[in-house]
């Protein structure tokens, strides 16, 4: 999906990834991250958001919940991490990363509520009254109030399978009336996902029905005397979408793939951000005239099509990738013909590292001519 773009815009990353593999510094089934380019991308996003007075939280699940990257983003002025689920929240807490929003897609379980409250999170996203009560109970006998975001859903919203959740617009008013009974809870945010998506017909990022549900919910809350500080409208947040977001007076975004130049927009358009992640494998064996390379990093929505195979950037061959069936484990990727055993295989596709078995290799100095592997992590943010 991003192979040609990466080859054109960041060939040094491809050259470095091959060198790291061929010199046995990294294993196959590794994602190599060009840290210098990621920081450049992240800086451009935060600068653009500052023009519009918009707050940026970072979403790192797709990069394996990586704490090293999180620490660097905090230095740039990001408002904190979006902990998409409670396991990501734990990684951020273990590494002393400020949490801007916890519960974005998955609410924290009861056993973690006290720990999260004690740690301090700017917002809890909630979509059930029971969770509000648990949160309030953690604050009894204190003078503290906890800000929450309500996740809302409308009849025509996009909701991905496995993410079904939210307070409907029809039940929002009564839900808010109930929440207001809890003295330690402060309703200060509204959110949904996805609020913006890439449209192939226009080749632009367009607002979704979810965005208008958030705006409608805000009007309902105004009538109830509630002033919202944060209209959080995530998905595909990058430099190209921030101005569009500001038109709707939304106040915060959550760059994830924007940080690495790998949103769908980046696959079809030259954007400000430069792709800075490649997947590295190795030819393992041949069967029936085809080669197979080591797997472990496959994401079923990756849209992977091609790979580069070789031992040097000057002798690479392009091959077609044969992906595993969705009902099978990705022990290997297939390739369209025979290649040399042990050759490096490079791919650049849409990834979600936290659902893989892959290593995450952070590299600095690629563009100064002094590349260095600074750290290797597992797919869930643990340093190896």
Provide DSSP, 263-323. Answer: SHHHHHS--SS---EEEEEEEEEEETTEEEEE-S---TT----EEEEESSGGG-EEEEEEP
Q: Are residues 30 and 41 in the same domain?
A: no
What SS3 state is found at 197?
Answer: strand
C-alpha span between 171 and 71 (Å, rounded) = 39
Q: Are residues 207 and 236 in the same domain?
A: yes
Give me the pLDDT at residue 301, please.
Answer: 85
94 in Cβ contact with 116 (< 8 Å): no
Q: Are residues 130 and 256 in the same domain?
A: yes
Give me the pLDDT at residue 236, please.
Answer: 93
189 in Cβ contact with 150 (< 8 Å): yes
Q: Are residues 353 and 322 in the same domain?
A: yes
Q: Can you give the residue range of the structural domain that contains 367?
A: 3-34+271-377
240 in Cβ contact with 271 (< 8 Å): yes
C-alpha span between 182 and 273 (Å, rounded) = 44
Give me the pLDDT at residue 16, please.
Answer: 98
Give me the pLDDT at residue 224, please.
Answer: 96
Hey, CA dihedral for 105, 150, 132, 59, is it positive or negative?
positive
C-alpha span between 56 and 58 (Å, rounded) = 6
List, run by run, the mean pLDDT of 10-residue segments along the chain (384 residues).
Answer: 92 98 98 98 98 96 97 98 96 98 94 96 96 96 95 96 95 97 97 93 91 98 96 95 93 96 90 97 97 95 93 95 93 97 96 97 96 98 96
Strands 81-83 and 332-335: unpaired
Q: Are residues 307 and 330 in the same domain?
A: yes
Give me the pLDDT at residue 92, please.
Answer: 97
Nearest to 231 by CA among 252, 212, 246, 216: 252
Boundary residue ending a domain (239, 260, 281)? 260
Q: Are residues 110 and 222 in the same domain?
A: yes
Boundary residue ending a domain (260, 281, 296)? 260
**Is residue 370 packed enough to be buried (19+ CB in 10 Å), middle (13-18) or exposed (0-12)?**
exposed
Number of structural domains the chain divides into: 2
Boundary residue ending a domain (203, 237, 260)? 260
Per-residue buried b or exposed e for 296-329, using 16+ beta carbons within 10 Å of the residue's own CB? bbbbeebebebbbbbeebeebeebebebeeeeee
Who's near 340: CB < 8 A, 6+ residues apart?
283, 309
For residue 23, being part of any structural domain is answered with yes
Q: Are residues 189 and 275 in the same domain?
A: no
C-alpha span between 307 and 291 (Å, rounded) = 12
Answer left, alpha or beta for residue 245, where phi above 0 means left and psi between -120 and 50 means alpha: alpha
pTM higher than 0.85, yes or no? yes
For residue 265, being part of any structural domain is answered with no
Q: Are residues 52 and 178 in the same domain?
A: yes
């Amino acid at each position: 999906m991003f192979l040609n773009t990466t080859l054109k815009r960041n060939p040094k990353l491809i050259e470095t990834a091959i060198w790291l593999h061929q010199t046995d510094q990294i294993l196959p089934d590794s994602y190599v991250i060009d840290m210098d380019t990621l920081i450049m991308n992240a800086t451009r996003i935060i600068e653009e958001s500052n023009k519009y007075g918009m707050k940026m939280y970072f979403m790192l699940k797709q990069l394996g919940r990586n704490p090293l990257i999180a620490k660097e983003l905090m230095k740039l002025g990001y408002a904190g991490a979006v902990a998409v689920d409670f396991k990501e929240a734990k990684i951020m807490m273990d590494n002393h990363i400020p949490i801007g929003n916890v519960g974005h897609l998955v609410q924290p379980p009861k056993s973690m509520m006290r720990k999260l409250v004690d740690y301090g999170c700017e917002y809890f996203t909630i979509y059930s009254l029971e969770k509000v009560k648990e949160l309030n109970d953690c604050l009894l006998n204190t003078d503290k109030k906890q800000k929450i975001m309500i996740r809302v859903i409308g009849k025509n919203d996009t909701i991905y399978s496995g993410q079904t959740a939210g307070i409907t617009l029809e039940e929002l008013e009564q839900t808010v009336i109930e929440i207001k009974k809890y003295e330690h809870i402060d309703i200060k945010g509204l959110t949904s996902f996805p609020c913006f998506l890439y449209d192939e017909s226009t080749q632009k990022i367009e607002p979704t029905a979810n965005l208008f549900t958030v705006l409608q919910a805000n009007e309902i809350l105004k009538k109830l005397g509630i002033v919202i500080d944060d209209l959080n409208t995530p998905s595909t947040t990058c430099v190209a979408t921030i101005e569009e977001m500001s038109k709707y007076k939304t106040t915060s975004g959550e760059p994830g793939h924007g940080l690495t130049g790998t949103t769908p927009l980046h696959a079809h358009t030259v954007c400000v951000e430069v792709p800075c992640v490649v997947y590295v494998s190795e030819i393992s064996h041949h069967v029936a005239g085809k080669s197979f390379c080591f797997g472990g990093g496959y994401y079923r929505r990756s849209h992977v099509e091609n790979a580069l195979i070789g031992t040097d950037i000057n002798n690479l061959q392009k091959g077609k990738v044969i992906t595993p069936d969705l009902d099978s484990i990705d022990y290997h990727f297939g390739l369209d013909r025979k290649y040399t055993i042990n050759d490096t295989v490079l791919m650049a596709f849409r990834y979600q590292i936290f659902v893989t078995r892959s290593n995450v290799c952070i590299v600095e100095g690629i563009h100064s001519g002094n590349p260095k592997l600074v750290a290797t992590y597992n797919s869930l943010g643990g340093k190896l």
